[in-house]
Chains A and B, each alone.
Chain A
Amino acid sequence: MGAHKHVSGAAYVVTFVALLVLATVSLLLSMLHWPVWGTVVALVIAVVKALLVLFFFMHLVEQRFSNRLAVLVSILFVTLLVGLTSADVATRHTFAQRTEPSPNEAFYGR
């Protein structure tokens, strides 16, 4: 195949056990119902799990940089889409109905 160092059988097992442990930790942490940071930690653990699958199960650790680049590029663009769309929603100013007349109305003497 041309790959230089194949992932060993043991590495698969270690990766698998790590994944199980991380999933369990994530589950247990979620029971603390930690606002905001709870979600952040859960997502960080998810990223670690994904990286383990990518590098060991999907053999990215054996492969060339251009394959890793494809992964990196897609992650960056997902972040971009999610980020700017949420930023819009988070930073919109929606105003409640005014009850007193606006300064303009006072100026125009209505």
Chain B
Amino acid sequence: MHAHELGEQYGDFAQQDHTLKFGMWVFLASEVLLFAALFALYAAYRTMYVDDFRAAIEHNTLAYGTVNMFVLLVSSFTVALSVWAVRHGRNGTAVALQLTTIALGIAFLVIKLFEYAEHFHERALPGRYYHMTELPTFGANRFFTMYWVMTGVHALHVTGGVCVVGWLVYRTATRHYTPEHYAGLEMGTMYWHLVDVIWIFLWPLLYLA
């Protein structure tokens, strides 16, 4: 059993837990705004090149993107269930669920790598490196530039998320989280869910025509 430290600035554990979760929500708000600049650029370029964007989306690798959508949805489910498990004292189950999430996260990245390889093959690269012959338009160039930047930044966050869930595995396995004290687990899983929510918006914008 681990003694849970109550910070000197807090009156009781309830206050500490509320504050930690609130703080995490504020942090997630900042992460959402990080992606906002990219969504703004995407929206502006799409407004400038409406038809070329549609053509580029139709040309994009729908299968990879869709599989990844389902991968992340399942991974969100498993990591959310791991909180349920800890709430019911079943840390072993929680660890198994978290490991599943990690595996799915890695699967996402592997699929992404294969997908990038295909784009590379077609020369559908960002900005000045774009040389795709089927869609030689400015609009397609802009689409694939934003595609690479947005999915790249997202993939970085998936990688970070995998590390975070890895840390959660350690803390859950060592029984640091108990049914009474699991704020850190909640915070870590929130980060993973954010990664899922971002993809929930990236998927239709980048893959669904």
Enumerate chain A interface residues (CB-CB to B < 8 A): 1-2, 6-7, 9, 12, 15-16, 19-20, 23, 26-27, 30, 33, 35, 38-39, 42-43, 45-46, 49-50, 53-54, 56-59, 63-64, 66-67, 70-71, 73-75, 77-78, 81-82, 85-86, 88-90
Q: How near does chain A come to B61, taking the closest CB pair, in angstroms? A: 14
Q: A6-B87, A54-B197, A74-B29 are in contact. Are A90 and B47 (CB under 8 A)?
A: yes
Q: A12-B81, A19-B73, A46-B200 are in contact. Are A26 and B208 (CB under 8 A)?
A: yes
Most A CB contacts (10 A, CB to CB) among B25, B79, B186 go to: B25
Q: Is B116 an interface residue, CB under 8 A from the partner?
A: no
* Secondary structure of the B contact surface, majority rule: helix
Contact with A along B18-35 (1 / 0, CB 8 A): 100110011011101100
Residues in A neighbouring B180, C-beta threshold 8 A: 1
Q: How near does chain B come to A13, taking the closest CB pair, in angstroms? A: 8
Q: Are B204 and A46 in contact (CB under 8 A)?
A: yes
Q: A20-B70, A54-B197, A58-B193 are in contact. Are A2 and B17 (CB under 8 A)?
A: yes
Name which residue of chain A comes closest to B197, CB basis.
Answer: A50
Stretch from B38-46, B107-115, B122-130, B153-161 contacting the other chain = B38-46
Q: Are A86 and B196 in contact (CB under 8 A)?
A: no
Q: Are B47 and A89 in contact (CB under 8 A)?
A: yes
Q: Are B201 and A85 in contact (CB under 8 A)?
A: no
Q: Is B69 an interface residue, CB under 8 A from the partner?
A: yes
Q: How near does chain A come to B58, taking the closest CB pair, in angstroms? A: 8
Q: How near does chain B come to A60, taking the closest CB pair, in angstroms? A: 9
